[in-house]
Amino acid sequence: MKMDLVFNGYTMVLFLVNIAFVTLVERKILGCAQLRKGPNKVSLGGVLQPVADAVKLFFKESVVPSKSNLSLFVGAPGVGLGVFLLCTSSLHGLSDSGFLEYLMVYVLCILSVGVYPLYIAGWASNNKYAIIGSLRGIAQSISYEISLSLIVLSLMLLVQSFSLEAWSLYLPSSGLSVFLIPLLILWLVSCLAETNRTPFDFAEGESELVSGVNVEFGSVFFVLMFMSEYGMILFFSVLTSGLFFTGVTLSVGSFFWSLVVVFFWMWVRSTLPRFRYDKLMTLAWTSILPLSLGFTCFTGILSSLM
């Protein structure tokens, strides 16, 4: 029990520290994509740029809108970060202390709670742009959570268990590489929508919503929201590596594939324009969802024959 708590704390701290350097990597990749250097002035090659940005933001004045709901406005960023930390706690299965039997059910339940910080932040701001942004984000998150759940169910049906331990033991010897490719594509698209990232960043939509749900947040509040967003990118990268490439293990291969998925997130942002919102919802309900449901039915039949 004590080792579980120690590993949970270690995992959370590791994720929080890595968030800073993920932002640096993203800015470097965006710089390369736009034929510029990116941050390169602070320390050697700009390595400490995230630290400088964090210090600047933490020492800025925290302004709370006069017509906002104070308690909800202050609490929403913390709730969002809490959801991310609960997700990272699910990765305690990487330790030697064991795996949760229904780990993936736990993860999906926590992800479903992720829409509440978004809604609270938009409503508590008492700003029309923030409210519209939060409603957009909630609608797309709920739409794509269904697909994420069906994809996870498709994989778990093959081992007839919701434990990542069982899946990690099954994956290397399964020979399902070709079968997993279309599921991986559906999973990555759904993850992009779930995390409100380009080209599905409609909760922000700078040109339309003046930064959307974040418009009234600054200083420490903005830092917490920023950390929860990039933290979820890291979490989904590790989870993707565990589900589709190496299984959930502490290995060089798992680390490598997690970095590849992080790079994919950054590459998408640097190359693809924002989708139209109606096309996003059409994609969810007429393409992603039917395909995910079809794979779930197929794996259900396959597992019953095995």
Alpha carbon 243 to its chain centroid, in Å, reads: 15
Q: Does the structure show a pLDDT above 60 at 276?
A: yes
Mean per-residue pLDDT, 212-229: 88
Q: What is the pLDDT of residue 133?
A: 85
pTM for the model stands at 0.90
Q: Is residue 190 part of a domain?
A: yes
Q: How far apart are CA 203 and CA 225, in angstroms?
A: 13
Q: Is residue 47 part of a domain?
A: no
Q: Per the structure block, which two tokens stand in for 268?
A: 């998408």
Give the range of the structural domain holding residue 81, as residue numbers without chain letter: 2-23+65-167+175-301
Helix, strand or coil, per DSSP, at residue 125: helix
Q: Is residue 39 part of a domain?
A: no
DSSP per position, 1-40: -HHHHHHHHHHHHHHHHHHHHHHHHHHHHHHHHTTS--S-
Q: Is residue 32 part of a domain?
A: no
State which of 16-30, 45-59, 281-295 shows the largest mean pLDDT: 281-295
Confidence of residue 68 (pLDDT cuts 50, 70, 90): confident
Q: For residues 284 and 141, is the Cβ–Cβ distance under 8 A?
A: no
Mean per-residue pLDDT, 215-230: 89
Q: Per the structure block, which two tokens stand in for 133?
A: 């942004």
Q: How far apart are CA 69 and CA 16, in angstroms?
A: 28
Q: Does the structure show a pLDDT above 90 at 284?
A: yes
Q: Is residue 54 part of a domain?
A: no
Q: Does the structure show a pLDDT above 80 at 212?
A: no
Confidence of residue 97 (pLDDT cuts 50, 70, 90): very low
Helices (H), 164-244: 164-174, 177-194, 206-209, 219-244
Q: What is the CB neighbour count within 10 angstroms for residue 146? A: 16
Q: Is residue 49 part of a domain?
A: no
Q: For residues 174 and 167, is the Cβ–Cβ distance under 8 A?
A: no
Q: Does the structure show a pLDDT above 80 at 174?
A: no
Q: Is residue 253 part of a domain?
A: yes
Confidence of residue 14 (pLDDT cuts 50, 70, 90): confident
Q: Is residue 52 part of a domain?
A: no
Domain count, the chain: 1
